[in-house]
Amino acid sequence: MAKTIVGVLRGGPSSEYEVSLQTGASVLKNLNRERYEPRDIFITKNGVWHMDGFQRGEDYILHRLDVVFNALHGEYGEDGKVQRILEHFGVPFTGSRSLPSAMAMNKVMTKNSMVNLPLKMPRHIVIENSDEDLEKKIMEIWRTFIQPSVVKPMALGSSVGVGIARDFPTLHGLILGALEKSDAALVEEYIRGREATCGVVENFRGDEIYQLLPVEIIPPAEKDFFDYEAKYSGASREICPGNFLPEEKVAIQQAAALVHQTLGLGHYSRSDFIVSPKRGIYFLEVNTLPGLTNESLLPKSLAAIGCSLPDFLEHLITLALSR
């Protein structure tokens, strides 16, 4: 029987370029060679495509694949851009389609989609590069918005550019830094509590949306939260299943499934939460292409339920081919 040719997209013009290289390498390593013939599709930081080490055009590459495994992260790979390319050429691919990807990548669009759901979300305000008198608006946020606050670029992942502001100079610096990375910055109220994340997988083990076990994230003592460095340095502790009350566990799982379903995401996703001891569970954001590196959270969740990474990759490819 002929093997299925799987193109693994990795790299790309993204602030998460290095992480994508690692996820792609993990996918290439764990694909079942008895069933699949992998192709390493490397995309440079300038957006130039290569297949098996040779520079090629997108049309040349995509017409030679049966299916694409999207191992990109962040801008270009997770915001609908590469999905539109794949849809244009009619090649099946893993993960969400272009429109849900774009919506999920934009933190405010995600929040607006959730506003009528039974989900708690931190209060927020948006500041844009196009706003008149940025300095005046930043001062207004400091004076009128609840502090401390969390500042995030509007459309980046892996906590790139995210920080907690406890004083005006920090708030000012974080907002300007976020606006260098994105067209807009999101300023959220800081919810004190334990960090949690929960993945879901479609059509898995008999469930339309299978809810993985929530992971509890304990950043190193010197970190206020699970930032980019804490995510990929190996310094954080990730406990799966997390030490949550039974009702907290169920609520986190149900919320992750609800977010996935409401945004119309595809195949799998992972949602992040804060579990406050006094205020309950708050939804923060969703990741449509969770990392699959050795330090990533989703493989830990899969291992906790006895699912190997090769089996999970095969499941995603099967979903992509049947969509």
78: left (phi over 0), alpha (psi -120 to 50) or beta: alpha
* Catalytic residue chosen out of the listed positions 15, 26, 113, 296: 296
The candidate with the shortest Cα–Cα distance to 102, out of 286, 241, 238, 242, is 286
Bind-site residues: 272, 285, 287
3-class secondary-structure state, position 265: coil
Encoded tokens for 110: 């995600």
* Catalytic residue chosen out of the listed positions 14, 15, 113, 158: 158
Yes or no: say if 65 and 37 are a contact pair by the CB < 8 Å rule.
no
As its CATH architecture, domain 104-119+193-309 has 2-Layer Sandwich (3.30)
- The residues with which 126 forms a beta bridge, in sequence order, are 186
Question: For 124-189, which CATH class?
Answer: alpha beta
C-beta atoms surrounding 105 within 10 Å: 26
pLDDT 10s digits, 30-46: 999 999 999 999 999 99
Cis amide bond preceding 277, omega within 30:
no
158 is catalytic: yes
As its CATH architecture, domain 4-93 has 3-Layer(aba) Sandwich (3.40)
pLDDT 10s digits, 104-125: 999 999 999 999 999 999 999 9
Of 200-209, 218-227, 246-255, 263-272, minimum mean pLDDT range: 218-227
Yes or no: say if 295 and 231 are a contact pair by the CB < 8 Å rule.
yes
Of residues 225 and 187, more confidence is placed in 187
- Gap between the Cα atoms of 279 and 194, Å rounded: 12
14 is catalytic: no
In this structure, what DSSP letter does residue 71 have?
Answer: -
* Catalytic residue chosen out of the listed positions 15, 16, 96, 202: 16
pLDDT 10s digits, 255-309: 999 999 999 999 999 999 999 999 999 999 999 999 998 778 999 999 999 999 9
- Gap between the Cα atoms of 240 and 269, Å rounded: 17
308 is catalytic: no
Per-domain residue ranges of the chain: 4-93, 104-119+193-309, 124-189
pLDDT 10s digits, 182-202: 889 999 999 999 999 999 999
Bind-site residues for Mg(2+): 272, 285, 287
3-class secondary-structure state, position 244: coil
Cis amide bond preceding 148, omega within 30:
yes
Average pLDDT (13-27) is 95
